[in-house]
Amino acid sequence: MNPERNPAPRPSPGPRPGLPAWRIGLAVGAVSAPTAWALAASDEIGRWTIALGIASSVPCALLGCYLVLRRMSLLGDAISHAVLPGIAVGFLLSGALIGPAIILGAMAVGMLTALLTQLLSNLGRVPEDASMGVVFTSLFAVGVLVITNAARDVDLDPGCVLYGLIELAAIDSRPVFGLEVPRSFGAMAFALALTIGFVTLLWKELSLVSFDPALATAVGISATVVHYALMAMVAGVTVAAFEAVGSILVVAMLIVPAATAHLLTDRLPRMLLVASAVAVLSAAVGYRLAVLWNTSVAGMMAVVSGGLFASAVVGSPRHGLLGRAWHRLALSLRIAREDVLARLFRAEEESPSRPVASGSARGWASSAAGRLVGAIALRQLRARDFIRADEVDSVALTGPGRDEARELVRSHRLWESYLSTHFDLPPDHLHDPAERIEHFIGPALRAELSAELDRPDADPHGRAIPPEGTGNG
Amino acid sequence: MTTSASLDRTEAEAKAKDGAPDRPAGPPSSPVLDVHDVTVAYHRKPVLWDVDLTIDRPCLAGIVGPNGAGKSTLIKAILGLVPKASGSVRVFGKPVGAQRRLIGYVPQRESVDWDFPVTVLDVVLMGTYGRLGWFRRPGRAERSWSMECLERVGMAHLADRQIGQLSGGQQQRTFLARALAQRAEVYFMDEPMAGVDAATEAAIFALLRDLKTSGKTVFVVHHDLRTVPEYFDYTILLNMRLIAHGPTATTFSPENLRKAYGGRLAILEAAGEAVRARERSE
Amino acid sequence: MLTYNTLIVLLGTGLLGANAGLVGSYAVLRRRSLTGDALAHAALPGLCLAFLAVGQRSLPAMLAGALLSGVAGVAVISGLIRATRVKEDAAIGIVLSVFFGAGIVLSRVIQNAPGLGNKAGLDSYILGKTAGIIRQDVLLIGGVSAVSLVLIALAYKEFKLTVFDPGFARVQGWPVFWLDLMLMGLIALAVVFGLPMVGVVLMAALLILPGAAARFWTDRLGPMLALASAFGLVTGLAGTAISAHSAGMPAGPIIVLVGSGVFLVSVLSAPRRGVLGRALSAWRFRRELQERKLLRLLFDRAEADRPALRPIDRSAILQGPSGPPRRLAKALDRLIARGDVVEPSGPGGPIVLSDTGMERARAVARGYRLWERFLIEYPEQASAMADLSRESVAEVLPPDVVRELEEALRKSGQWPEDGTGGRSS
C-alpha cells in the first residue's frame, strides 16, 4: 500500500477503502431500522427515554472498548459499584442526583478505587481479583449505608440506585428553547461529548498504552497517567449513566457492547463504532421490549445487549462459533476431496487400466472426517467434473481432475524428498507428514522446494515426481 | 493548550525541514550507556547483582547467558521498567528519563495481546508516538516514515493486515519496524530472534548491521550461542552477575562461557564450534 | 436484652459468615473471587423464574432456581473463555450484568403482575434483609455449613491439590473437573443461602473478605480455613450486633464493613505478609545490602594492603558517576555509629575497619566469595539457589558443596582466613 494513496492524516473512525459498500449499508440498516422502529412506535416520553438511553450508553461503550482490550473489564465493574458513596454524599450535599459536583466527586472515587486496588495487589500482594472484590464491596457497603440513612429524610429510593429509573428521568423535564427536555439529558449529553473529546484527544496515547504499556513507558508516555485518566473517565460516565440504569446494569453498558464489537471487527476505530452501534440498538430495542412486557427498561437494555453479544458469539464471520465451524468443515471437505484425487492418481499410476471401485473411493473420502463429509466431498468432485463414475460402478479421474491430482502428488513427493534430505528421517516416517502438509503447499512453495532440491525426478521411495502443470488444463 | 500545541508543531516542522536526527543530548565524551552498580531483586530474591557496565562507543552488543540469568531483567532495569534495589543508569551521560527519545525498545513478542484490533501500520506508527509527545497525532510524515520502516523489514505489503493474522516471524518484523520508526540512537531488543523462521532471522541480522553502520548502538538479548560471534561485535555475558563484557573476539572465549554456563557439554561444544568458525574466517 | 429474635439473627449471620469464609477461601486461592460475585448476580433470574413457575413464595423452589441459574452463569463464563476470544474478565462482567439484567426484568414482571407482586419479597435478594431471618433459615444455613464442612474434611487433600496445581492433579488421575465443580457447588450453596440476608453485592464481600484476610496470617491451608471461618463468624456476629444496637444501620453493609475492618487490620499488621511488616523488612534488606557491600569493599582494600591496615579516604570507596552514592554514604555513617568502622583522624577523615568490623567484614567476604565461587562452579544452578538475602551460605547450600567451594577458594588464596588483615597482625 502506497502511503501517498492513502492521504487520511489520522486513523479516522470510518470505513476504509477495503470495506465493500454493501456491508456498510447492511450494518447501517441493521442499526437504524430497529432504532427507527422503536422511535416511531413510542410517544414523546418514550423517544426521550430512548435518547437518554443512547446518550448514557454510548460513552460507556466507547470507554468499555479500552477496558475490554486492556483486560480490565472488572475494574469497570468495581468502579461502577464503588462510585455509590460518592453519589450518595453528593446527593446529600446538593440534593440532586446529577450535576458537575457529583460527577467530579465520582471521578475522584473512581480513581481511588483503581488506586486502592493497585495498592492492595502491589503492596499487599493480594491477588488482583480479590483486591478488586474487597475494594468495591467495601465502598459499595458505605454507599448503601449512606443512602439508606438518607432515604429516611429525602426522596431517594435504594432500588433506583441499584437498577435505575430511566422511565422517571424522562418525565422530569423542563423547557429548553420551547422543547421539553429531561433534566438529566444535559448531563448525559455533556458526558457523551466529553467522552468523544477524550477519546479523540488521547487516541494515540490510549491505543499505545492499551496495546503495549511497557513501550509507552519506555518512550515517555506514562502508562500510569493514561490509566488513571481512563479510570476517571469511566467513573464519570458511570455516574452520568447512573440515574438511567443504576449501578449494576451500567456494567452491561461498559462491557457487553465492547466485547461484542471485539468479536466482530479487527480495527480499533471500527470497534468503537460497532460498540456504539450495539449501545444504540440495545437502548432503542430494549426500551420497546420493556414497554411491550411492562418491565424494567434498564434491565431490558442489558438483556438486549446480552442477546446481541450472544449472536456475535455464534454468528461473527471470523471469530464466531458458526464461522469457525464452517471454516473447519470447508477445510475437511477440501482435504477429503484432495485425498480422493491423490489416491486415484496413484492408482492410475500403478495400473492405468484397472478401474477403481466407487466403494474404495468412498472409503478414501471418509477416512479423514467421517462418512457424511466424504459423501459431500465426492459429490463436489463430480459436480466440478474432476472425477466421473461410469456404469460398472467404478470411478476415474477426468482431465482437469488429473491436473489437480498431479499437483497434489507433486507436493507430497517433493515434501518427502525435502524431509529425507534435510531431516534424516527413515523412509517409513516420510509419508504421514507429507500426507498432512500436501494440502497446504502452493505452486510458489513447490517451486522453491524443487529448486532447493535441484529439481528431483523421484521421491525417496523411488516414485516419479510428476512435473508442474502447465496451467492450460 | 492551543499555543503550546502550535509551538510543538512549528518545532517539529523545523526539525522535519532540516531532516537531521536528534543528536545525543549529553556531552560528546559521555559513554553511550553507563550502568553503575545495578542490583535488582524481586521480593528480596536478587536476580541481578552489582552490574557495572560502560559502553563507550556504538556497537552491536549481544546479551548472552543461561536461562534465568537476568538478561531481560537487565534491559528492563536499564529502561526503568522494573525497580532497582540499588544503582544508577545513564544514557549519553543523562538519566534514562531524560533520554527517552533516544531509546528504542523491542519487547518480547509474547508481552502483547496479538488479538488487539490494530493493523501492522498502526503498530509501526506507535513507534513515532514517543517523539510526537502528548496529544499530537501522527500525520502524513509519520505515515510515510512508518511505511518506509516497514519496507526495510520487508513487510510493506502487509501494512493493512490485522496483527493477529501474522506469523511469528512477521510479528517480530513488525516490532522491529516499530523500533526503527522510533529513530532512536540506542536500541534494546528482548530476544528478537526467538521463535522466528530462518528468513526472518537473516532479515533481522541484516537490519542490525544496518543500524550499526549508521552509528546506532543495539543491545540484543540473544539465546543462540552458535550465532553470537557472527552477529555481534560486542558481547555481554551474564549470569546473575556480569561475567564478562567486551569485544566478542576477546570476551566470547571458552573460559568465560564456562563461567556463565558451567560445564555443560553441549553448550560448550556449540560455542567452541562457533569460536573455531570465527577463527577460520579471520 | 438478648431476645429470641436477635439470637436467631445472630446465629444466622454468624453461621453464614463462617461458611462463606470457609468456602470463599478456596475461591480466593483459586483466583476466582469474582466468579463468586458473578454467581451471586446470576442467581437472580433463576430465583424469579422459579417464583413464576411455582406461582408463590416457596423457598426450596426458589433456592433451587437460584442455584441452577448461578451455576449456569459460571458455566457460560468458562464456555466463553474456552470457545471464543473473549477474555476471562470480560466474560465475568458480561455474565454478571446480563444475567442480573434479566433478573431485574423478571422481577419487575412479577411485581407488576396483579396479585403476585407483594408476595415475592424479591427486593430482599438484592439488598438483603437480615431482620427477616427465622428459625428455618438458621437450620438451613446450619445444614449447608455442615455439608461444606464434611465435604471439605473428607476431600481435604484432593481440594488442596486441585486448588494448588490442577494440571498436576489431572495427571495424577484425580477427577479435577468434578472436584472443581464440587467446590463451585459449595460456593454456590453459600451464595444462594446468603442472598436473602445480605443481598447480591454484599454476598461477594462475605466470600472474599475472610479468606483474603486469613491469607495474611498463615501460609498453610488448614489454619487458613480455620481462621477464615473464624473471621467470617466474628464478622457476622459483630455486624449484626452493631446494627441491632444503633438506628439507621442496616445489617448487610455493616457486616461487610466489619469484614473490611478485619481485612484492613490484616493487610497492615500481619507479621510476615502484612504491608507494614514487609515494607520494614524490605527497608532493612536494602540497608543491609548496602552495609554488606561497604564491608566487602573495605575488606578487599584491607586484604590488598596486607599485612598493614591503613586508613583510607572515604572517596576511595564512595564513588559513583554522579558523586558519592547517597545510600552507600548513609551505610557508612551507620557502620561508624556502630563502631565497625573508625575514623582515627577525626570525623570526616580517613576510615578503617575496627576489630569487630573486621570480623563482620570477613564473614561477609566469605559469604560473598563462596557465592561467587558457587556461581562459577555451578552456573546452571545459579537462578535456583542464589539468594543474596541470606548472609550465611550454609543455610542454602548442602554442607559438602560449601566444603568443596571453601577448598577451591583456599587453593587459589582467596579464602578470607582468620586474622587476615586483622588490626593486630
Higher pLDDT, A392 or B108: B108
Q: Does the pLDDT at position B12 exceed 50?
A: no
For B89-137, what is each residue's pLDDT tens digit? 888 888 888 888 888 888 888 888 888 888 999 999 988 888 888 888 8
Q: Which residues contact C49 (CB under 8 A, 6 or more apart)?
A: C65, C69, C106
For residue A95, the model assigns a pLDDT of 66
Whether residue A267 and residue B119 make contact (CB cut-off 8 A), yes or no, is yes
Q: What is the pTM of this model?
A: 0.80
Of C322, C327, C380, the CB nearest to B261: C380
Residue C416 has pLDDT above 90, yes or no: no
Q: Hey, what's the torsion of the CAs at B34, B39, B41, B47, to 10 degrees?
A: 80
pLDDT value at residue A4: 39
Search chain A and give the residue with CA nearest C254. Answer: A141
Burial class (CB within 10 angstroms; exposed 0-12, middle 13-18, buried 19+) of A440: exposed
Mutate to test the interface with B, among A121, A219, A226 (most CBs of B within 10 A): A219
Distance, CA of C11 to CA of C108 (rounded, Å): 32
On whether any CB of chain B is under 8 Å from the CB of A123, the answer is: no
Domain termination site, one of C224, C247, C270 = C247
Residues A302-325, mean pLDDT to the nearest whole number: 88
**Residues sharing a CB contact under 8 Å with residue B208, sequence separation 6 or more, in sequence order:** B60, B218, B220, B231
Q: Which residues contact A32 (CB under 8 A, 6 or more apart)?
A: none
For residue C323, pLDDT over 60 is answered with no
Say if residues C92 and C81 touch (Cβ distance below 8 Å): no
Nearest to A12 by CA among A200, A178, A149, A188: A200
**Hey, which residues 88-147 in chain B have their CB within 8 Å of chain C?**
88, 90, 115
Q: Which residue has the cell 513427493?
A: A413
The CATH class that applies to domain A40-313 reads mainly alpha
Contact between C340 and C357 under an 8 Å Cβ cutoff? The reply is: yes
- Answer whether the bond into residue C307 is a cis peptide, omega within 30°: yes
Q: Is A146 a residue whose pLDDT tops 90?
A: no
Model confidence at A5, pLDDT cuts 50, 70, 90, reads very low
Closest approach of C18 to chain A, Cα-based (Å): 17
Domain presence at residue C333: yes
Interchain proximity A129–C31, CB inside 8 Å: yes
Which three cell numbers mark C218? Answer: 498463615
Distance from CA of A153 to the nearest CA of B (A): 46
Distance of CA A150 to the CA centre of its chain: 43
Please, what is the Cα angle at C421 between C416 and C424, to 5 degrees?
Answer: 130
Binary contact (B122, A268; C-beta < 8 A): yes
CATH code reported for the domain at B29-90+185-282: 3.40.50.300
Q: Do domains A40-313 and A399-473 have the same CATH topology?
A: no
Q: Where are the beta strands (DSSP E) in B151-256?
A: 186-190, 217-221, 234-239, 241-247
Residue A64 vs residue A141, higher pLDDT = A64
Q: What is the pLDDT of residue C384?
A: 63
Residue of B nearest to A11 (CA): B122
Higher pLDDT, A20 or C267: C267
Could A9 and B139 be called an inter-chain contact, meaning their C-beta atoms sit closer than 8 Å? yes
- Least confident range from A42-46, A279-283, B216-220: namely A42-46
Residue C264 resides in a domain: no
Are B90 and C324 a contacting pair, CB within 8 Å? no
Domain with CATH 3.40.50.300 in chain B: 29-90+185-282
Q: How many domains does chain C have?
A: 2
The answer on C210 and C282 residing in a single domain is no
Q: CA C319, CA A148: separation in Å to the nearest integer?
A: 64
Query: C382 vs B66: CB contact, 8 Å cut-off?
Result: yes
Q: Are C210 and C157 in a shared domain?
A: yes
Distance, CA of C58 to CA of C45 (rounded, Å):
15
Domain residues of chain A, as ranges?
Answer: 40-313, 324-397, 399-473
**Predicted confidence (pLDDT) at residue B19 exceeds the cutoff of 60:** no
- Residues in C whose CB is inside 8 Å of some CB of B read 85, 281-282, 285-286, 289-290, 293, 320-322, 325, 327, 372, 375-384, 386-389
pLDDT tens digit sequence for A213-267: 888 888 888 888 999 999 989 988 888 887 777 777 888 999 999 999 999 988 8
What chain A residue is nearest to C86 in terms of C-alpha separation? A259
Q: Is the pLDDT of residue A112 over 90?
A: no
The Cα C91–Cα C73 span in angstroms is 10
Cα within 13 Å of Cα(C249), Cβ side: 15
Identify the chains in contact with C, defined as 3+ C-beta pairs within 8 A.
Answer: A, B
Question: In this predicted structure, what is the pLDDT of residue B3?
Answer: 39
Domain range enclosing C199? 4-247
The reported pLDDT for the residue numbered B1 is 36
Q: Which CATH number characterizes residue C192's domain?
A: 1.10.3470.10
What ipTM was assigned to the predicted interfaces of this complex? Answer: 0.79
Q: CB-CB: which of C101, C211, C260 is closest to A303?
A: C101
Tell me chain A's radius of gyration from C-alpha atoms: 31
Top CATH class of A399-473 equals mainly alpha
Residues of chain A contacting B117 with CB distance shorter than 8 Å:
69, 262, 265-268, 270-271
Give the pLDDT score at A41.
Answer: 76
Would the pLDDT of A190 be above 90?
no
Most confident of A120-134, B193-207, C212-226: C212-226
- Could you tell me the CA-to-CA distances from B63 to B52, B100, B228 in Å, in that order? 14, 21, 9
Range C344-356 average pLDDT: 82
Residue A372: burial class (beta carbons within 10 Å; 0-12, 13-18, 19+): exposed
Which triple of cell numbers denotes residue B269? 561444544
pLDDT of residue C94 exceeding 90: yes
Query: Looking at chain B, which residue has its C-alpha nearest residue C385?
Result: B45
- pLDDT of residue A109 exceeding 80, the answer is yes
Q: Predicted confidence band at A58 (pLDDT cuts at 50, 70, 90)?
A: very high
By Cβ distance, the residue of C379, C383, C388 closest to B260 is C379
Q: State the average pLDDT for chain B.
A: 80
Nearest by CB to C89, from A72, A302, A305: name it.
A72
Nearest CA-CA partner of C358 in C302, C406, C279, C313: C302
Mean pLDDT, residues C388-397: 65
Which tens digit of pLDDT belongs to each residue from A330-361? 888 888 888 888 888 888 777 777 777 777 77
- How many CB atoms neighbour CB B23 within 10 A? 10
Give the chain B residue nearest C376 (alpha carbons). B259
The answer to whether residue B43 scores a pLDDT higher than 70 is no
Helix axes C176-198, C200-215, angle to 10 degrees: 120
CATH number of domain containing C327: 1.10.10
Q: Return phi, psi of residue B242, to 5°.
A: -75, 120
How far apart CA B221 and CA B106 sit, in angstroms, is: 10
Per the domain annotation, does C425 fall within a domain?
A: no
Q: Can you tell me which residue has the cell 449499508?
A: A25
pLDDT at B21: 45
- Using DSSP's 3-state secondary structure scheme, residue A135 falls into helix
Higher pLDDT, C374 or B56: B56
| Facing A71 at nearest CB: one of C87, C105, C278 | C87
CA distance A131 to chain B (A): 19
- Reported as half-sphere exposure (CB side, CA atoms, 13 A), residue C259 has a value of 42
Q: Mean per-residue pLDDT for C74-95?
A: 89
| Phi, psi dihedral angles at C212 (to 5 degrees) | -65, -35
User: Looking at residue A195, what is its pLDDT?
Assistant: 93
CA distance A111 to C152: 39
Residue C46 to residues A163, C105, C113, C125: CA-CA distances in angstroms? 18, 12, 18, 12
Q: What local confidence, expressed as pLDDT, does residue A261 receive?
A: 94
